[in-house]
Amino acid sequence: MWSILLLIIPCMVYAQPHQNDKIILLNGDTISTFISADPDKETRLPKKAIPLIDDYGFTEVVAIFPNDSVRLYKPDDIAGYYKHEVGKWIGSGWHESRSLQSKWFRMGFNKFEFQRFVQRFYSHKDFTLYMLRESDPGGRPDYFYLIYYRNPPEPEVIFNFKSWQKWAAANPPFDEIAPTLKKPKRREYSFFDMLKDAGRAYKARNP
């Protein structure tokens, strides 16, 4: 039987969705499901089930199963999940559960560990790129980009374009790749897209 059953609410979905998404259990097994990209519209979960909707997909995820049951998973319950199509609050692709350190994100003076789902949006044999969205109640969400380059003990966390330039300058061949990329613009060309292009440029040099 499944090892995780945090929340089961039968007959609470509006329609029977396609089961193209996956939950990855802690033992590595996968379960086909539909992962809600907008639980406010696709389920009738109480608002308190997801306190910060801006963090949805990173602090918790809702899975809808063929028997119309709805299950809420948190990062310490499963190894991750796969979303087949991009949605309102969740990007498509693999999302991994990871233990993170507050010091990586400059979260005050207290050091602590916390668990989140992070979106893996580019992967190469030498490095992997992840994205994390994190917000405070009443505040706008912040976006953090984690770079694991050549198996470091800790990731490099990119906060903005300036921190990206600094990291790239110290890590060849990104020092040569960075100047060839377009500068991000809020709507026309996102920072997320620029980092994906950086990954493609690296792959072109190092297949």
Q: What is the mean pLDDT of each run of 10 residues along the chain (207 residues)?
A: 40 58 97 91 83 89 87 96 90 95 79 93 94 82 92 90 95 96 88 95 94
pTM (predicted TM-score): 0.85
Phi, psi of 36 (to 5 degrees): -70, 130
φ, ψ of residue 71 to 5 degrees: the values are -125, 135
pLDDT at residue 6, rounded to an integer: 43
What span, in angstroms and rounded, lies between the C-alpha atoms of 134 and 140? 9
CA distance 113 to 103: 9
The confidence score (pLDDT) of residue 5 equals 39
Task: Provide the pLDDT for residue 88.
Answer: 83
Chain-centroid distance of CA 117 in Å reads: 5
Token reading at 206: 């190092």
Question: 10 Å Cβ neighbour count for 153?
Answer: 5
Amino acid symbol at 84:
H
